[in-house]
Amino acid sequence: MSPNGTTLHASSLAMATHSPGQRQQPGVDRLSALPDELLVTILDGVDTRSALATTVLAKRWKRLPRLLSALEFRVTDMFPPPSYQQSLAFLEQYAPAVMSRYNDAIDRFMKAAYGDGSYIPQSGRTLRLEFFDPDEPASVDRLIGTAVRSWGVEDVEVIVKPVAHHIAYFFPQHYLDDESAQFIRSLTLGGCSLLPPLHKYGQLTALVLQDISPSVPVAAYAGVFSRCPGLRSVHLRRCHAETDNNVPSVLEVDAPASGIIELVVYLCSFQAIRLLALPALERLECSGSPVSLAFGNVPRLAQVILSLGFFILEGDPWDDRYDYTLDELLVAVTPAAVTATDLVIRFTGTYRWVEPWLDGLTPFPVLRRLLVADVPSNWDVSWPYLLLEAAPSLEVLHVSVAPSAEDTPRDVDIMWRPSRFRHRHLKELVVVGFELTPTQACLVRLVMKACQALGYVVLMKSGRIEDRGLGGGWEVVAPPESGWSHDEKVAAEKAIKKARYFKLYGHLIFA
């Protein structure tokens, strides 16, 4: 398959070597006339099995797979596209036979492409393996070991696809000696039952752990941060650590010598994450169910993305057990520990589970830019206002509103008490997805009343938020046309400025 999803055949590749108006003469092999560099670029666009199949075209093609920048074997490629969507019972029945073919393909690949011993290792190569948990993992293990020791592979990705509930695959550390383990720069492990001895991977800079067996204790994840001094990025995805006697699962990180600058925790079972010491951390992203974040020695933390959702099953009544306050979700271990200048908060769910209370709230003393993303429209959208008191240095507040399903129950409105609170630094308020509802008008009115430095307020009926990645923050992309009619603008201004006995700051802009 090519990068755009189309199948590349040798005949179509040959057609591409001459212009549309030029007819290829019989017996002329224009494809083989291309230089090796261009042919390898073409082969890099197809899967490894297809690239290996080209070795039958001519003797010259036999050596080309040795030059590929990435070696990729995915077990799902061996099923017809609809088949892998079958039931778990279907996969359990056919997985052994498919894995037998998978192992044979790996053995043939190693023999055909590298069997003559003439291969010259290259640096910067990638190995991606995706397979069902094998009863006999020897072929897979040999491939991993040979790729790292002899072929110059630096990026390794091993994903074990679930078929049965129990996965017993272990990363083949026994095929790597202490010297060859130093070659790995990036490691992705999915569905493994045990973490390898990461202290032996001295040059590892990026680590991804996903769908790791629940039998792996929380302490093993905590140890990752201090055992690899070269690590710069750690991603934990869907990692569920078991605990005894219903003890909360707490990931406690105390790594004062760590150089990690990025930490992503996605849909894990940790109920609390305590960052006691990560002095180089610049970006933290946490997604999933409500989790308590405690900040200690993180002096360089500039960007925090917190995306939490709390959903009530149908028929389950709502009560106070499900309410959280911000001081329960964001905790400072030491005074002024939350040093983030950019904060993205995305709280979603059937009901608003964030209480608008400020008692004991952890302040954000240096926060400059805040995005409250995808606020469900059935919530009281005015609740982000409470964050202004927690961020006295805030200059930019962006709020995006996401439409809720028509049958979603409406949230109870917040009863805001009269206040003399004034914010002295906020200059910009942007609301994306604005509709003229009482709570959305209330948010704009509260901000315009309290923020004395406010320059302008932008209301967008549509638009989108784009994430710029590490260090880039986000960007609000306005629609090509505002979509506001004159009557709608008049109605919005009237709803926002309905009380004239107080002064409103800033200017309304309809985009």
Q: Which of 113-122, 146-155, 314-323, 444-453 has the highest mean pLDDT?
A: 444-453
pLDDT in tens, 446-481: 999 999 999 999 999 988 888 776 666 788 888 888
Residues 214, 249 contacting (CB under 8 angstroms): no
User: For 11-15, 42-46, 107-111, which range has the lowest pLDDT when averaged over its residues?
Assistant: 11-15
User: What integer is the mean pLDDT of 57-61?
Assistant: 54
- Reading the block at residue 84, the tokens are 């892998």
Q: Please give the pLDDT value at position 63.
A: 54
Torsions phi, psi for 334 (to 5 deg)? -125, 155
Q: Which residue has the higher pLDDT, 73 or 10?
A: 73
**For the chain, what is the mean pLDDT?**
80
197 within a domain of the structure (yes/no):
no
CB 156 within 8 A of CB 147: yes
Residue 166 lies in a domain: no
Phi then psi dihedrals of residue 491, to 5 deg: -65, -40
Looking at residues 421-450, what average pLDDT do you find? 94
Alpha helices (H) along 82-239: 88-114, 138-150, 218-227
| Four-point Cα dihedral 174, 175, 180, 186, nearest 10 | -90
Q: What is the pLDDT of residue 10?
A: 33
Give whole-number Cα distances, 174 to 39, 171, 204, 508, in Å. Answer: 36, 9, 18, 66
Bridging pattern class, strands 464-469 and 473-477: antiparallel
- Lowest-confidence range among 56-65, 255-264, 442-451? 56-65
Residue 150 within a domain: no
The per-residue pLDDT for 94 is 77
pLDDT of residue 214: 86
Q: Which domain holds residue 41?
A: 1-68
Q: Are 272 and 290 in contact (CB under 8 A)?
A: no
Task: Return the percentage of the chain with pLDDT > 70, whole number.
Answer: 74
pLDDT the model gives residue 104: 85
Q: Determine the pLDDT at residue 151.
A: 80
**Boundary-marking domain end, from 68, 85, 103:** 68
In a domain, 266, yes or no: no
Residue 50 within any structural domain of the chain: yes
Reported pTM: 0.82
Last residue of a domain, one of 51, 68, 85: 68
Q: Could you write out the DSSP letters of every residue in 366-417?
A: T--EEEEEEEETTS-TTGGGGHHHH-TT--EEEEEEEPPPTTSPPPPPP-PP
pLDDT tens digit sequence for 193-244: 889 998 899 899 999 999 998 888 899 999 999 888 899 999 999 998 877 6
Q: What is the dihedral of CA 144, 145, 149, 152, to 10 degrees?
A: -10
Alpha-carbon gap, residue 342 to 296, rounded angstroms: 18
How confident is residue 11, by pLDDT bands cut at 50, 70 and 90? very low
Express as a percent the part of the chain with pLDDT over 90.
37
Q: What is the pLDDT of residue 247?
A: 73
**Could you give phi then psi for residue 332, rounded to 5 degrees?**
-95, 120
Say if residue 20's pLDDT is above 50.
Answer: no
- Structure tokens of 274? 């305590």
Q: What is the mean predicted confidence (pLDDT) over 174-185?
A: 89
- The three-state secondary structure class of 186 is strand
Higher pLDDT among residues 421 and 447, named by residue:
447
Q: What is the pLDDT of residues 289-340, one digit of tens each?
A: 888 898 889 999 999 999 998 876 655 655 555 678 887 888 777 655 678 8
pLDDT of residue 353: 86
What average pLDDT does range 361-370 have in this prediction? 82
User: Pairing mode, if any, of strands 125-132 and 70-74?
Assistant: parallel
Give phi and psi for 445, each to the nearest 5.
Answer: -65, -45
Supply the angle between the helices 486-496 and 438-450 in degrees, to the nearest 10.
60
Q: Which residues contact 166 (CB under 8 A, 6 or more apart)?
A: none
Quick check: 404 pLDDT over 90? Answer: no
Residue 376 resides in a domain: yes
Q: Is residue 23 predicted with pLDDT exceeding 80? A: no
Strand partners, 342: 303, 369
Task: Select from 68, 91, 119 the last residue of a domain.
Answer: 68
In a domain, 510, yes or no: yes
d(CA 361, CA 389): 9
| pLDDT grade for 5, boundaries at 50, 70 and 90 | very low
**What is residue 322's predicted lDDT score, i.e. its pLDDT?**
64
Number of structural domains found in the chain:
2
With 60 as the cut, is the pLDDT of residue 55 above it? no
Residue with tokens 């954000």: 364
Residue 262 in any domain: the answer is no
The Cα 339–Cα 297 span in angstroms is 10
CA angle 62, 63, 65 (to 5 degrees): 90
* Nearest Cα to Cα of residue 469 among 286, 285, 341: 285
Phi and psi at residue 292, to the nearest 5° = -85, 125
